[in-house]
Amino acid sequence: MSWLTEFPAMDPDTLRELKKAIDSGFLQFSRTYGDAIEYAFEPVKFLLIHSERLLIETPWPIIVLAIAAIAWLASRSVKIVAGAVITLLLIGYFDMWEDTMKTVSMTFVCTLLSIVVGIPIGVAMSRSNRLQSLVTPILDVMQTMPSFVYLIPVVMLLGIGKVPGLLAVVIYAIPPIIRLTNLGIRLVDKDLLEAADAFGSSKWQKLRDVQMPLALPTIMAGINQTIMMALAMVVIASMIGVQGLGQQVLKSISNQYFTLGVFNGLAIVGIAIIFDRISQAYGRRMQKYQEAVHGL
């Protein structure tokens, strides 16, 4: 009756052998292909290094002005611009400027990569139900797997540093942009697609003139979520050597520096709010055409 009181688990030796086999197999894989994969990520690394250098080496007033300008162009709201400038000045005043710039740079590159990879996947998914049913469970795994877990294979493959960090962040942050691109395109009014067909649109013209522009507000919501998730993961990725605010948080956990942790945490909150407000305001502005203004 022992199988009732204790779950009939796999024999410990076999289990150990299994885990060992998978581990050594993956190790073998990373030894063989690690260099090649690292080489493949060379352009991304280049982008990472240069965007970070640009943000750090540019005098801070120019950065503040540039972010204010972006906020204004995207939102046309004095409130959002003022909020962004004050937050940045406070961050600088509490001596977290350089770490913040590193985090912003990392988030920026990760978001960019997520968009570049995610939107085409989302478009492809929207065109094929089979692909959708294939990709959706993968996205589910990517989003629910504890984020620490995929730090492990990434580190085994690429070691510690910016590039493995970026890979971990992108894996974590890419699902919303894929999902919402797919959803946005699928939600486009069938009547409009029929009209596009009736006027003889090619598939590409239909995508360019009708589907993408009308899905854009939904896609923007996806980008907004991707930015937020990238920011969250950039902090966790500090565990594998990603520099920035996250590293300070990590340091304050291991040394029980309460104030250091809170300051850096608040800086992360600050830039998260800036990113969120700017991207949301931009998304809203893109839908302005829907406002009915009769009798103009």
Pick 58 or 205: Cβ nearer other proteins: 205
- Residue of the chain from 64, 160, 214, 239 that contacts other proteins (CB under 8 A): 214
2 Cα distance to chain centroid = 48
CA distance 96 to 94: 6
> Side chain identity at 76, as an amino acid letter?
R
> Contact between 129 and other proteins (CB under 8 A)?
no
- Residue of the chain from 7, 11, 200, 254 that contacts other proteins (CB under 8 A): 200
Both tokens of 173, joined, read 């942050």
> Contact between 127 and other proteins (CB under 8 A)?
no
CA distance 115 to 102: 20
Confirm if 157 and 164 have CB atoms less than 8 A apart.
yes
DSSP tally for the chain: helices H, then strands E: 14, 0
Q: Which stretch binds other proteins (CB under 8 A): 166-174, 175-183, 189-197, 256-264?
A: 189-197
Both tokens of 271, joined, read 């830039």
Q: Whole-number minimum distance, CB 138 to other proteins, in Å?
A: 30
- Residue of the chain from 19, 53, 197, 262 that contacts other proteins (CB under 8 A): 197
Pick 16 or 208: Cβ nearer other proteins: 208
Q: Which stretch binds other proteins (CB under 8 A): 4-12, 13-21, 205-213, 251-259?
A: 205-213
Confirm if 169 and 106 have CB atoms less than 8 A apart.
yes
- Residue of the chain from 18, 82, 89, 195 that contacts other proteins (CB under 8 A): 195
> Contact between 201 and other proteins (CB under 8 A)?
yes
Q: Whole-number minimum distance, CB 293 to other proteins, in Å?
A: 5
Q: Give the number of residues in contact with other proteins, rule: CB under 8 A.
A: 23
76 Cα distance to chain centroid = 25
Footprint of other proteins on 266-295 (CB under 8 A): 289-294
Q: Whole-number minimum distance, CB 194 to other proteins, in Å?
A: 6
Both tokens of 202, joined, read 């090619």
The closest of 6, 9, 31, 8 to 18, measured between CA atoms, is: 9
Per-residue x/- marks for other proteins, 139-178, CB under 8 A? ----------------------------------------
Pick 251 or 284: Cβ nearer other proteins: 284
The closest of 268, 227, 228, 226 to 246, measured between CA atoms, is: 268
> Contact between 202 and other proteins (CB under 8 A)?
yes
Q: Which stretch binds other proteins (CB under 8 A): 92-100, 147-155, 195-203, 219-227?
A: 195-203
| Percent of the chain as helix, strand, coil, to the nearest 5 | 85, 0, 15
Pick 205 or 255: Cβ nearer other proteins: 205
Residue 13 burial by CB count (10 A; 0-12/13-18/19+): exposed, middle or buried?
exposed
Q: Whole-number minimum distance, CB 202 to other proteins, in Å?
A: 7
DSSP 288: G
At residue 227, φ and ψ (nearest 5 deg) are: -60, -45
- Residues near other proteins (CB under 8 A) are 189, 191-192, 194-195, 197-202, 205, 209-210, 213-214, 289-294, 296
